[in-house]
Copies of this chain bind each other. A is one copy, B any other.
Amino acid sequence: MADLRGGDLSRLRQLNSLTAIRALRRAGPLTLSALAERTGLSRPSMKEVAGELMDLGWVEEVPPSPGSMGRPARRYRFRADSGYLVGVDVGGHNVRAALADLDGEILAETRQPVLPDAPLEERLAAIERAVSGCLALGRVPVSDLWTIAVGTIGVIDVEGRVIYSAAVPSWRDLDLAGRIREMFPCQVLIENDSRLAAMAETRRGVAQDARDVVFLHVGRRMGAGLIIGGKVHRGFGAAAGEIAMLPESRWFDAPEHLNTCAAVPEGTPPEDAAGCTLAAARNGDPVALEAVGRYLDDLAVGTAAMVLVLDPQVVVLGGGFSRSADVLLGPLRDRLERRCMRMPEVRASTLGDECVVTGAIEYAVDHLDDRLFTPEHGPLPLTR
Contact = CB atoms under 8 A, between A and B. Distances in A.
A226 B19 CA distance: 34
A288 B249 CA distance: 29
Contacts of A246: 301, 304-305, 308, 339
Nearest to A228: B228
B16 A6 contact: yes
A313 B240 CA distance: 11
Interface in A232-268: 233-243, 245-246, 248-250
A239 B311 contact: yes
Given A242-B308, A305-B248, A339-B246, A4 B38 contact: yes
A29 to B, nearest CB: 16
A239 B15 contact: no
Contacts of A313: 236
A20 interface: yes
A86 to B, nearest CB: 25
Contacts of A26: 4
A232 to B, nearest CB: 12
A247 to B, nearest CB: 8
Given A155-B342, A246-B305, 17 more contacts: A2-B22, A4-B19, A4-B38, A4-B40, A6-B45, A7-B16, A7-B19, A228-B228, A234-B311, A236-B313, A236-B344, A239-B311, A243-B308, A245-B341, A246-B301, A246-B304, A306-B309
